[in-house]
Amino acid sequence: MSEYNSDLVKKTFFWIKKNPNKKKLYDADLNLWLTNGQLLEAVDQAVKTFNKAGLKVGDLLLLALPNSTAYVISYLAAMRTGLAIYSMNPKMPEKQAKNEFRKRNYKAAILDDDYQELFNQIVKNPKIKTLSNYGDYSIKLTSWETIKANNDVNDFDEIPKHSGIVIYTSGTTGKPKGVLLDHSQMYTAGDNVVQSHKLTENDRVYIVLPFYHINAQNIALMSALISGGSIVVQKHFSAHKFWPVVENQEVTWVSAAPAIILILLNTEINPNNLQKLRFIRSTSAPLAIAAMDQFEERFKVPILNSYGMTEAPSQIAVDPMPPLHSPAGSSGKPFNIAIKISDKKLTKELSIGEDGEIWIKGTNTITSYLHNRDQESFVNGWFRTGDVGHLDKDGFIFLAGRSKEMINKSGDKISPYEVEDIIDKLPFVDSAAVIGYPDKIYGETVAAVIILKDSTDKKTALIDFAKQIRKIVSLQEEKFKVPQYIFFMKDIPRGATGKIKRTALKNKIIENKEIDKY
């Protein structure tokens, strides 16, 4: 059986073949462990099926499965065959899902049961065969003659021949941009995680973030594969199941969004034995300092803050391993990547402590987007991240926000993160989101959206909470950073990884005149 020739494939399957009887992959939803030998047998069967189906190096595979044993087997087989893998959210609304099915030049698809029926509706002569078997379960591979035309398809995206993954940016600053990552970039990025976190074959990662995002694929899965570690997967995060899985399966580390950390902090579940758990890695969005301190104090588990993005892919900077630590408010130190703080055109490098555009350069960083979109972000091998921040004298990075998230109040630039960190310390606040709000005089002013721990509609109580919020911010920051408007709401829109959707939140508040301002 031929195998795609890359260091990523060689290292991954070196570990899988080394110890056939070692437990490798646990599916928490099925309560099923696979050993290395069982996993290899399932992957071998899938590779043979790909070959019989006529799939060749560089062909595009649609992988639309939830976090599961089936996903990992399919991913490994596609990687070993040298396919391009596009991981799709398995829970999209019907219209959006059908648009995704038609949007790219897929050669085959592996689909969740909910999607199979939808997919069959839009293709001619679908052919479904068994890709692989594991335990009492099977994975299906779908091929077809043609996809039925539809004028509603938005922006067909032709993917060139490619071995690796196809993934899209979150699109917080505009239309999502396509990113092609090859095996070399995936290996380098995964190895950076292995080195920075000192991962070994004795480590076991628990993956609850969705595989259709870069973090689960590259930070968690890739680092475990190339370090020889074992893997625990679950369809989605559950506060009720999280600690029992960590304890019973002897998990040593987790990569989690701040939203997960906050949910765990706000539950009454207290695990009994976390001796195996080395750290939790906070990713995708800044974690409030107060929440980090409370979590570490309560659970006695270190949290590593990190900073990354799809284009890097994923890890740019990270906290050092305990007992070392970063300064409060930092997102760690750059790891095996060069960083410059400059202006938007990379013509003037800024001083230590001065906020500016963050530019990065590294062997795993992309040099262009799919179809050469947004070329102004690439200058002489450097990539402009779109983030704003600064480095301190010791090389630690501090994020001020996205360049488009920064609030510009009559020329004064305000980071939403620094104001949120202060508000989050108040005992009655569950979570806060700070945004720019239109102002006739200043252009923008500061607004804070608050979710209370104990919801109330009493005007007197809300007025008092608003006073306390303004007071605590005024005691710690300049006057122009104090929220002029405060809104109390039941929820804050967030993406799948916990990032606040600031544009959506801002539009919701501006358009809904019935939301009271305080």
Query: What pLDDT sits at residue 514?
Result: 86
Give percent of the chain above pLDDT 70.
97
Q: How far apart are CA 290 and CA 424, in angstroms?
A: 7
Separation in Å, CA 53 to CA 9, 48, 128, 158, 324: 21, 9, 11, 21, 52
CATH of 407-511, one of 3.30.160.110, 3.30.420.610, 3.30.300.30, 3.20.20.70: 3.30.300.30
Residue in 63, 102, 107, 58 with CA at minimum distance from that of residue 81: 58
Residue 483's pLDDT band (cuts 50, 70, 90): very high
Q: Which helix (H) or strand (E) holds 389?
A: strand 382-391
Residue 170's pLDDT band (cuts 50, 70, 90): low
User: Between residues 408 and 140, which one has the greater pLDDT?
Assistant: 140
Strands 253-256 and 204-207: parallel
For residues 194-213, give the mean pLDDT: 96
Q: What is the DSSP string of 183-200?
A: HHHHHHHHHHHHHHHT--
Give yes or no for residue 279 having a pLDDT over 90: yes
Query: What pLDDT sits at residue 177?
Result: 87
Query: What pLDDT sits at residue 492?
Result: 93
Give yes or no for residue 171 having a pLDDT over 50: no
pLDDT tens-digit map of 86-109 = 999 898 888 888 888 999 999 999
Query: What pLDDT sits at residue 151?
Result: 65
Residue 278's pLDDT band (cuts 50, 70, 90): very high
pLDDT tens-digit map of 434-477 = 999 998 777 789 999 999 999 999 999 999 999 999 999 988 88
pLDDT tens-digit map of 66-84 = 999 999 999 999 999 999 9
Which tokens go with 38?
A: 């069982």
Query: What pLDDT sits at residue 148?
Result: 80
Residue in 167, 175, 171, 183 with CA at minimum distance from that of residue 215: 167
Give the start-to-end residue ranges of the domains of the chain.
Answer: 7-304, 407-511
Q: Which residues contact 33 (CB under 8 A, 6 or more apart)?
A: 23, 25, 26
Phi, psi of 35 (to 5 degrees): -80, 170
Q: How far apart are CA 115 and CA 219, in angstroms?
A: 27
pLDDT tens-digit map of 333-385 = 999 999 999 998 999 999 999 999 999 999 999 999 999 988 989 999 999 99
CATH code assigned to 7-304: 3.40.50.12780
The overall average pLDDT reported for the chain is 92
Give yes or no for residue 41 having a pLDDT over 90: yes
pTM of the model: 0.83
Residue 172's pLDDT band (cuts 50, 70, 90): very low
7-304 and 407-511 agree in CATH topology:
no
Helix segments in 361-425, DSSP class H: 416-423
Q: How far apart are CA 214 and CA 71, in angstroms?
A: 15
